Structure formats: structure tokens, C-alpha cells
Amino acid sequence: MTGQPDEAMIAGGELLFERPWRFLKSAPALEFLPPADKVEIAFAGRSNVGKSSLINALLRQNGIARTSNTPGRTQELNFFETDDVPLFVVDMPGYGFAKAPKEKVDSWNELISGYLRGRPTLARVFVLVDSRHGLKPHDLDVMRMLDEAAVSYQLVLTKADKIKPTELQALVDKTAAVLKTHAAAFPFLIATSAEKGQGVGDLRTAIATILAERT
């Protein structure tokens, strides 16, 4: 992550995710969302980008978010919470998958769009991008939608350990240049590896900072 985070926020991020987090509920449609009474941080990304694995690493709990090699496994908005903290972590359905009936794809896309455009407590969306592939058309579509809805979002590179450091830096530079053309994009991106733990601390710090600003 670019920039110098406050030491108190680094410590706060670690403490926030040393707490016991738990799965709250799945929402297959907008009418099943929990009350909008907490700050919400959502994770979006193409199917199989490593979203559930990164959430497991973030929350320090293997298996709290279900992982699968099958694209489209996460079909609902999954909410996670912890006691005495006004924060939801939200695992969104993957987008851009093809191995599903069209009506199911349309339903999931409608859920994603409705949530991103209309949730008043949504503080930031972390848009996950596979380091091995970079930004794809579906990512850019979601970024444009978030720009139009004026929803703050930040790009997170996943599987950063799968490419060479020089390739990763080139991708960071290229992606950062793209972010400058998107109004709602947070200017700094985070390179992560759920497997190696790379960048997970930066992600925790970013979330703790957002929570402090909102509360």
C-alpha cells in the first residue's frame, strides 16, 4: 500500500481482527439484507479471484468464508460481524463468470448492482484483481458503476506471490495510472497474498481507518 499509515491505525487494525468474527447471514436478494445500522466494507471481484481466501486471512479464520475452485460458488451477499464493533464485512458474489444459467447470472448481477448503488452504510468496496491477469473488462464495468454511484472503492491485487516482484511493481504502476481516471477510486492500491499473508496487515489498517472516520 502506498502512503504512510498512522501507527495507531496499524495497531487498531490488528486488534480489530484479533476479535472473534462470525458469519451473520446470507442475503440472496436485497429484501434479505440486515438493517443498515453498521459501517459496511464489501469485497467484490471476478469469480475465482481469491476473494473468500483473502477474507479468511483478514478475519484470521480459515473456512469462515467458503472457498471453491468453482467460479460462481458465492451466490449471495454474505455478512460477517463481531461483538461491540459497528462493522459488517461483506463477501459479494463473484462477477464475470460464465458457467451458470443466464437467469442465475442475471439475478446475481442484479443483486450486486442493487447493493452497490443503494446501500447507505456502504463505506468502501475493495475490488479484487488477480495479479496474474490485471484489470479485465468486467472489473472496469464495476469501477464505472461505482464511479456513477459515487461509492468509494479501492483496488486490491490478489495472489501477488504468484508473479515476480518486478512484474508486480509494473502492474501496480500501470493500475495506479488507470485509477487516476476514475472519480470514486481511492488512489492507493494494496498488493496481497492470502497464502503468504502479504498485504493483509495493510488491508486491516485501511479498514480500521475507514471505521474510525465513519464512527
- Structural domain including 19 reads 7-214
What 3-state class would DSSP assign to 147? helix
Residue 110 domain-assigned (yes or no):
yes
CATH classification at residue 187: 3.40.50.300
Flag whether pLDDT at 116 surpasses 70.
yes
Residue 49 domain-assigned (yes or no):
yes
Residues 178-195 have pLDDT tens digits of 999 999 999 999 999 999
Residue 1 domain-assigned (yes or no):
no
Number of C-alpha atoms within 13 angstroms, CB side, residue 30? 13
**Number of domains the chain contains:** 1
Number of C-alpha atoms within 13 angstroms, CB side, residue 156? 31
Q: pLDDT-based confidence at 103, cuts 50/70/90? A: confident
Residues 47-89 have pLDDT tens digits of 889 999 999 999 999 888 875 444 444 578 999 999 999 999 9
Residue 2 domain-assigned (yes or no):
no
